[in-house]
């Protein structure tokens, strides 16, 4: 009889959890009454296991069952939001660093904590609707507010805004403007940047030594990506009354020029990833009905991730002169994540 009750309780709790109509405290009380004892330790282990295996341990070390449950709850709501993207009439692609980090986490490989989630869309109407969906599915149930920032190509661009600012300096900005006034070969621009960064001590000598090897791996013929980023909407949750769960990361909704003949998610993901500069980024993910992930790989990205190889693709260093500082910062970001140059030339 006890076994039957335990099974029924488990089914009821699972249904309630999927509908998000129970708080952590309510779930604990129902479990305690039904099973005749406090399952606090068992439930806590369940939540921590999810955060460890599904969220790269983000929020794992917070004290208290209720804070852990809030992290667990936020993680699942975030996946519910990403799952809703599959129902959109135009492809919405989750690709890049978030997909790569989630792949490593589920492969039981130590992964970095992602800074944001990039969602690429080709439809202006969906671009606007995704923000409202974010508030409805994720922010409101957690009693959080949504803060946004917007960039549009029509307003002029700051293409380096998505990268860390710790390497920027007035001299580097002047240097970039000076380079634009003259035709300078790519390798010379890279050399100039390396020398300037070392002189200004914006990178350590050891990092400079590693970064200088980029000369060996610069694409022979850099090829610009085949799509144009028209606008980016960045959204993140905030609150004056509640702590924002660590499992929630800012969202970048990126409007790109997607060809009309691309109507499926995998085809759109392939098109988007083909424009990425680093092989390890060429992954995308889809959220299944059970909130698990299905990963899509392009250009042998899984192998590059598992071996932590920093392999440059043709779009690297392509485009305008000011792309060099931004590209170097991206390389530093991946080197700091533990990636290394490949042992063979690609």
SS3 95: strand
In terms of pLDDT, which residue wins out, 277 or 34? 277
Give every CB contact of residue 194 below 8 A, 6+ residues apart in sequence: 208, 211, 212, 328
Using a 10 angstrom Cβ sphere, with 0-12 exposed, 13-18 middle and 19 or more buried, the burial of residue 299 is buried
* Residue reference for tokens 């920093």: 310
Which pair of tokens denotes residue 313? 């693709």
Confirm if 96 and 248 have CB atoms less than 8 A apart. Answer: no
Confirm if 334 and 276 have CB atoms less than 8 A apart. Answer: no
Q: What is the pLDDT of residues 113-134, one digit of tens each?
A: 888 999 999 998 998 899 999 9
Task: Work out the pLDDT band at 95, boundaries 50, 70, 90.
Answer: very high
In terms of pLDDT, which residue wins out, 167 or 210? 210
The whole-number average pLDDT for the span 209-229 is 89
pLDDT of residue 34: 46
Give every CB contact of residue 50 below 8 A, 6+ residues apart in sequence: 72, 75
pLDDT of residue 169: 44
pTM here is: 0.79
Closest CA to 197 of 301, 94, 40, 205: 205
The whole-number average pLDDT for the span 134-150 is 93
Closest CA to 155 of 251, 233, 225: 233
Q: What is the pLDDT of residues 249-273, one digit of tens each?
A: 999 999 999 998 998 899 999 999 9
pLDDT of residue 8: 57
The neighbouring-strand residues paired with 222 are none
SS3 119: strand
pLDDT of residue 181: 45
H/E stretch holding 232 reads: strand 229-238
Q: What is the pLDDT of residues 175-190, one digit of tens each?
A: 454 445 456 788 899 9
Task: Give percent above pLDDT 70 in the chain.
Answer: 75
CA 50/CA 58 separation, integer angstroms:
10
Q: What is the pLDDT of residues 9-26, one digit of tens each?
A: 565 555 555 544 444 445
Q: Is the pLDDT of residue 28 over 90?
A: no
Give every CB contact of residue 144 below 8 A, 6+ residues apart in sequence: 138, 237, 238, 239, 242, 244
The whole-number average pLDDT for the span 209-221 is 92
Task: Work out the pLDDT band at 2, boundaries 50, 70, 90.
Answer: low
Q: What is the mean pLDDT of the chain?
A: 81
In terms of pLDDT, which residue wins out, 38 or 345? 345
The whole-number average pLDDT for the span 29-36 is 46
pLDDT of residue 149: 94
Closest CA to 283 of 327, 292, 291, 294: 294
Confirm if 324 and 190 have CB atoms less than 8 A apart. Answer: yes
In terms of pLDDT, which residue wins out, 155 or 285? 285
Neighbours of 76 (CB within 10 A): 17
What does each C-alpha distance from 259 to 34, 154, 254, 255 come to in angstroms?
Answer: 56, 20, 15, 12
What does each C-alpha distance from 205 to 159, 202, 211, 248, 334 come to in angstroms?
Answer: 27, 10, 10, 35, 17
CA 286/CA 288 separation, integer angstroms:
6
Q: Is the pLDDT of residue 345 over 70?
A: no
* Residue reference for tokens 């922010």: 139
């Amino acid at each position: 009889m006890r076994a039957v009750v335990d099974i029924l309780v488990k089914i009821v709790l699972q249904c309630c959890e999927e509908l998000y109509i129970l708080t952590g405290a309510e779930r604990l009380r129902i479990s305690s009454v039904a099973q005749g004892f406090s399952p606090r330790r068992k439930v806590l282990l369940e939540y921590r296991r999810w955060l460890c295996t599904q969220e790269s341990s983000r929020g794992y070390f917070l004290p208290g069952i209720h804070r852990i449950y809030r992290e667990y709850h936020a993680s699942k709501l975030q996946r519910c939001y990403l799952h809703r993207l599959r129902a959109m009439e135009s492809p919405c692609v989750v690709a890049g660093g978030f997909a790569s980090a989630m792949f490593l986490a589920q492969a039981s490989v130590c992964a970095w904590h992602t800074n944001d989630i990039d969602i690429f869309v080709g439809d202006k109407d969906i671009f606007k609707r995704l923000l409202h969906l974010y508030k409805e599915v994720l922010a409101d149930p957690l009693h959080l507010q949504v803060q946004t920032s917007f960039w549009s190509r029509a307003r002029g661009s700051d293409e380096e805004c998505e990268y860390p600012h710790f390497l920027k300096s007035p001299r580097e900005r002047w240097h970039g403007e000076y380079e634009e006034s003259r035709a300078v070969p790519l390798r010379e621009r890279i050399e100039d940047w390396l020398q300037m960064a070392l002189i200004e001590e914006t990178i350590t000598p050891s990092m400079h030594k590693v970064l200088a090897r980029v000369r060996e791996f610069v694409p022979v013929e850099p090829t610009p990506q085949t799509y144009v980023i028209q606008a980016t909407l960045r959204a993140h949750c905030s609150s004056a009354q509640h702590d924002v769960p660590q499992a929630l990361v800012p969202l970048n909704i990126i409007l790109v020029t997607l060809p009309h003949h691309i109507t499926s998610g995998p085809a759109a993901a392939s098109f988007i990833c083909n424009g990425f500069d680093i092989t390890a980024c060429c992954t995308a993910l889809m959220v299944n009905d059970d909130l698990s992930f299905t990963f899509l790989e392009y250009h042998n990205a899984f192998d590059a991730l598992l071996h932590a190889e920093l392999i440059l693709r043709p779009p690297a260093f392509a485009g305008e002169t000011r792309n060099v500082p931004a590209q170097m910062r991206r390389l530093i970001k991946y080197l700091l994540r533990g990636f290394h140059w490949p042992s063979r030339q690609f």
